[in-house]
Amino acid sequence: MKKFQLIHIIFLGLFVLTACQKKQKEHEVHTNTVPNQTNTMKVSSLDPTNFKEKINGKEVNLYWIKNKNIQAAFTNYGGRLVSLYVKNKNNEFVDVVVGFKSNKEYQESTEPYFGATIGRVGNRIAKGKFTLNIVEYTIPINNGENSLHGGTKGYQDVVWTASQPDAQTLVLTYLSPDMEMGFPGNLQVKVTYSVTNDSELRMEYQATTDKTTVVNLTNHAFFNLNGEGSGTILNHMVQFNAKEYTPVDSGLIPTGKIESVIGTPFDFIKPHTIGERILEKNNQLENGGGYDHNFVLSSTRNNNMNHVGSITGDLSKIVLNVFTEEPGFQFYSGNFMQGKNTFKSGSKDEYRTAFALETQHFPDAPNQPNFPSIVLRKGDLYRSTSVYKFSL
């Protein structure tokens, strides 16, 4: 009898252990978090075969760059950041970038810019026109009466050539031909994405041209620092090193003025949550449907870069500090997210459930003589570095 009881207890224990392990695995898949492992991190929600195909006759794949502190997934279709895992307050890995589970979903999305490398000119060009050396150039209109992020087929729609010199680095290159989307000059672009042991994602942009042109490259990652699918970003805490911004008209084209943020909802010199003042009666907030504006960076140098500031996830306590060589950045509070797309976690892209922070030269710079120039001439090297640094 005692022997039978012992066997019964052993079988019962094995059943409970198996059930617990199954429940834990299901939890990891549904929450899209990575188990707390020292050397190996497995992401169950991304199937590489969903990214392995030919688009426009070119090979597309999923690429991981990683170390023990940070892990990022990219597809060379659009040079997109698909996932970015960093540690939260519980020492668990959380995916803080929203994205999709396949190239097809990126192609069919009503929002074309999730995670994409943006060019040839990021942000807006008024009426899709600008003049260089007394020649007027026309870019396809795709945002009201203006051109946005390089026209109807910007760099988010091209297949980049990818190489990985090591486990922590991905190099993407693309030759943008003369007059592609109306831009002059054959532009050779190189973007190096890398992760560091200090929990940083580095973005290093380079470009050369054989004819005078305009260039303004960036990445359009959408973040939720509590994790993809965790709800609103309005309670994220924000602090920016920006005393000025560039106000816009109703089409989100800068007026040409550079104005102080003091006394306005754009003053994040001291910390405020994203949602604290977003509903205030303010002409600029009405024009943007919330925050969708370029901020002018104050000179707060760190390792030869401007410190943009920090954003903190209210639930995860993950802190994102951004550094850049650019003179400004676009802060976007997810105002046009409509719940029409399903992310890799199974959640929808609901209103204001992710934000973007794009390091950049100012919008409509070719048409604004008092803004820093984005003109690149033959023989010159376009070079710019930005860093997303994560901590608690």
**350 given a catalytic annotation:** no
Name the burial class of residue 322, with classes exposed (0-12), middle (13-18) and buried (19+) by CB atoms within 10 angstroms of its CB: buried
Q: How far is Cα 221 from Cα 204, in angstroms, rounded to an integer?
A: 15
Residue 339 is which amino acid?
A: G
The residue annotated as part of the active site, out of 28, 149, 180, 220, is 220
Give DSSP secondary structure letters for 20-75: HHHHHHHHHHHHTEE---SS----TT--GGGT-EEETTEEE-EEEEE-SS-EEEEE
**244 given a catalytic annotation:** no
Question: How far from the centroid of its chain's Cα atoms is residue 367's Cα?
Answer: 26
With contact defined as beta carbons under 8 Å apart, do 116 and 219 qualify? yes
Q: How far is Cα 317 from Cα 87, in angstroms, rounded to an integer?
A: 9
Q: Which residues contact 238 (CB under 8 A, 6 or more apart)?
A: 268, 271, 272, 273, 274, 309, 310, 311, 312
Comparing C-alpha atoms, which of 234, 203, 334, 65 is closest to residue 343?
Answer: 334
**Torsion sign (Cα): 138, 147, 380, 164:** negative
Q: How far is Cα 177 from Cα 184, in angstroms, rounded to an integer?
A: 8
Residue that the structure tokens 């486990």 belong to: 167
With contact defined as beta carbons under 8 Å apart, do 153 and 177 qualify? no
Question: How far from the centroid of its chain's Cα atoms is residue 195's Cα?
Answer: 15
The residue annotated as part of the active site, out of 180, 200, 244, 358, is 358
Please tell me whether residue 277 adopts helix, strand or coil conformation: coil
Please tell me whether residue 61 adopts helix, strand or coil conformation: coil
The DSSP letter of residue 303 is T
Max alpha carbon distance in the chain (Å)? 99
Query: Mind telling me the catalytic residues?
Result: 220, 358
